[in-house]
A = this chain, B = another copy of it.
């Protein structure tokens, strides 16, 4: 049964809640007075100038207005505040580090919403004995990394925004990053959650039970729901032993399918230590080398595709790591999977390899306007998909360059389509960029893929979600949303 054939709908208006305080009876002064009584002076900011920085997302693409900025200190305050909003019909927009990619933490322009920051909820307890961390929603990712490292442990999820991203935001967006291949996305690190429901009640699912078959695993609903079902107040996370040794390898391969076969080879040979597997085409590497003043090419000859792979071991596996990686790469070479490869001789070289990878985005940005797509398809289909999408876009849009790179091991690539040289950014984006994106997302959907592998939907991709997603799945999402937030007060206009 192909449900994709049924008709698709446009999303409802951004701010449509019939029960919100859009009516005459709402007494703003009284509401703020009650909020102040719950939160105190530090917890409720009404001064426009102080709120202003939090009303625009970090990339400057979305701006909104808010009644006030609430900053509860703990779950008890948060619970009372959300209950107050529910009884007054005040929409709530949760915000963590304000470092999301899709405008998910920016309120709409109505000014009716309360902006709710978790930044003061920073309780953090690392238990070395059980290798777990109990984190308030406002704990910053880097703070957790440091707290874990101080106990010879680590939290195996990292991303560019680690200096500002909060645990609550990472849970609510089901964040990814560069260690997903081995450790999984945020969902896989979560042992327990405490949630404040849209009516203000606390749903405590924070006991770290490895097995619990008392029906639906409720906490899963709040992971990746972007604040639309309530507010994550506390997370209990799994830690793992600290890294004792790593090996970083740069390999050249003949095509993307060879890269995929190298991945499979290493998943067999290095199953328990293979942590990252990134790919980029030769053109990406050329752009990076042009962009970075002192960049060295890891390999002498050009190759159609390049692979950056990282293996890490904790203390127990450190001694064997080097030999295992060498042997795996040797057999890959003998099997004809790689054309050439080099293992970083030291940490400096390893860092240099990673710098090439991390410079792809700024290097592309320097080349002119582009549209970017954070997409996934089943890993096995990625080589054929990338060929098909490149052929179609380059045929339909002459002079454009299509570049795919990123997390092949996760079936997740960043697909950039770069405007012809000399194109004027705003005009090009309106004339071609939007149409190109629509075509890319339509192809991703045909290939059973996702239009948002890592970044979420937020405001940014809401229309595209409605345009591409199976209507049955959308119906189920709406039914769940309506069941848990019937007044539609939680982060309205995001996701659904």
- Chain A residues packing against B (C-beta within 8 Å): 1, 3, 75-76, 79, 127, 129-131, 173-174, 176, 180, 185, 187-188, 197, 201-205, 207-218, 220-221, 223-226, 228-229, 240-241, 264, 267-273, 314-317, 320, 324, 328, 376-380, 407, 409-412, 448-457, 465, 469-470, 472-473, 476-477, 479-480, 482-484, 495-496
A185 touches B204 (CB 8 A): no
A174 touches B457 (CB 8 A): no
Residue on B nearest A211 in the bound complex, by CB:
B453
Residue on B nearest A375 in the bound complex, by CB:
B211
- In Å, the complex CA distance between A267 and B130 comes to 10
Residue on B nearest A264 in the bound complex, by CB:
B129
Contact of A267 among B3, B131, B226, B268 (CB under 8 A): B131
Contact of A225 among B216, B224, B451, B484 (CB under 8 A): B216
Question: Given A214-B457, A220-B217, does the pair A377, B3 have CB atoms closer than 8 Å?
Answer: no
Beyond contacts A1-B76, A130-B380: 19 other A-B pairs, Cβ-Cβ < 8 A, are A3-B203, A187-B217, A203-B470, A207-B377, A207-B448, A208-B379, A209-B377, A210-B412, A211-B407, A211-B412, A212-B450, A213-B450, A214-B465, A215-B456, A216-B221, A216-B229, A218-B473, A268-B316, A479-B484
A410 contacts across to B, CB distance below 8 A: 210-211
The 6 closest A-B pairs by CB, nearest first: A272-B272, A483-B483, A220-B220, A207-B448, A212-B450, A211-B453
A349 to chain B, nearest CB (A): 25
A129 contacts across to B, CB distance below 8 A: 264, 380
B271 touches A215 (CB 8 A): no
- In Å, the complex CA distance between A481 and B215 comes to 11
- In Å, the complex CA distance between A3 and B224 comes to 25
B3 touches A477 (CB 8 A): no
A30 to chain B, nearest CB (A): 24
Question: Given A3-B202, A484-B479, does the pair A217, B223 have CB atoms closer than 8 Å?
Answer: yes
- In Å, the complex CA distance between A129 and B265 comes to 10
B218 touches A224 (CB 8 A): no
A213 touches B452 (CB 8 A): yes
- In Å, the complex CA distance between A25 and B221 comes to 39
A261 to chain B, nearest CB (A): 9
A176 to chain B, nearest CB (A): 6
B452 touches A214 (CB 8 A): yes
